[in-house]
């Protein structure tokens, strides 16, 4: 039995939902209320010591890190395959996941203000200190401190936006050569990129995922969104319509 602890708008959660839906695996969808900071609760930290979503329980065994979870799912349920058969291509797939995890994911933290800005700005200093104390990583303590007290400046946001667009440049070259990111077939590398392309396309730099700017990425994005699993994985809007 699979239990997925996740949040609807979390990029890392979206990856795992996509993977589960591609595989047609049934799962118990447990929503973690990030607005209430449930992911920093003592009970949740027992499942995921990093205090982030998603986490998965498979037959009672906990697993965290969305890229790791997707690879695990592909191992326990190999059909349809979501990893290239060729070892070299499989290594390239892992490098895409690593690149996005290490260089791209932290760039969208400047947009936490949409989800958490109003709430966090109302915390008293004592409340903020108590909340920071329950966050396991220094890096994420800093992220919450920023959203509560020092919102990202327009210059910082512009810098992050620029770096996100570089992801599209890298993807453009890969997709031009192979149709998908790696090895000529849809894989966990593509799944890893989906939530970030969604964010770029929807709110960060919509004119970049276009035939004019990144034609191969734009075509890839249409093909991704046409997949039945995309619909089922609930990759909805990140920002509420105003």
Ligand X SMILES: N[C@@H](CCC(=O)N[C@@H](CS)C(=O)NCC(=O)O)C(=O)O
Binding site for ligand X (CB under 6 A): 10-12, 34, 39, 52-53, 65-67, 101, 140
3-state class percentages of the chain: helix first, strand second, coil last, to nearest 5: 65, 10, 30
In angstroms, what is the minimal distance from the CB of 177 to ligand X? 26
Judged by DSSP in three states, 77 sits in: coil
Which positions ≥6 away from 160 have C-beta within 8 Å?
Answer: 107, 108, 110, 152
Distance CA(127)–CA(182), nearest Å, equals: 46
In angstroms, what is the minimal distance from the CB of 172 to ligand X? 24
Q: Which is nearer to ligand X, 111 or 208 (CB)?
A: 111
Distance CA(237)–CA(11), nearest Å, equals: 11
In angstroms, what is the minimal distance from the CB of 226 to ligand X? 24
Distance CA(88)–CA(74), nearest Å, equals: 17
In angstroms, what is the minimal distance from the CB of 14 to ligand X? 8
Q: Which is nearer to ligand X, 148 or 171 (CB)?
A: 148
CA end-to-end span of the chain: 39
Q: Which is nearer to ligand X, 4 or 218 (CB)?
A: 4
Q: Which residue is nearest to ligand X (CB)?
A: 52
Q: Which is nearer to ligand X, 97 or 224 (CB)?
A: 97
């Amino acid at each position: 039995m699979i239990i997925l602890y996740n949040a609807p708008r979390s990029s890392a959660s979206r990856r795992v939902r996509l993977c589960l839906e591609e595989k047609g695996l049934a799962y118990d969808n447990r929503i973690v209320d990030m607005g209430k900071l449930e992911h920093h609760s003592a009970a949740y930290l027992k499942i995921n010591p990093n205090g982030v979503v998603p986490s998965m329980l498979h037959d009672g065994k906990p697993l965290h890190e969305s890229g790791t979870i997707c690879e695990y799912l592909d191992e326990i349920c190999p059909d349809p395959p979501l990893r290239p058969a060729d070892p070299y291509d499989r290594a390239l797939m892992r490098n895409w996941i690593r690149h996005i995890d290490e260089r791209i994911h932290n760039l969208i933290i400047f947009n936490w203000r949409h989800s958490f800005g109003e709430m966090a700005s109302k915390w008293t200093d004592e409340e903020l200190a108590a909340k920071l104390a329950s966050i396991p990583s220094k890096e994420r303590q800093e992220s919450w401190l920023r959203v509560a007290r020092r919102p990202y400046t327009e210059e910082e946001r512009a810098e992050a936006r620029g770096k996100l667009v570089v992801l599209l440049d890298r993807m453009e070259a890969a997709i031009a050569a192979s149709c998908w990111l790696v090895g000529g077939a849809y894989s966990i590398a593509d799944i890893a990129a989906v939530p970030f392309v969604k964010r770029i396309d929807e709110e960060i730099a919509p004119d970049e995922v276009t035939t004019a700017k990144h034609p191969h990425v734009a075509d890839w994005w249409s093909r991704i969104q046409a997949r039945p699993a995309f619909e089922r994985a609930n990759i909805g809007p990140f920002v509420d319509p105003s």
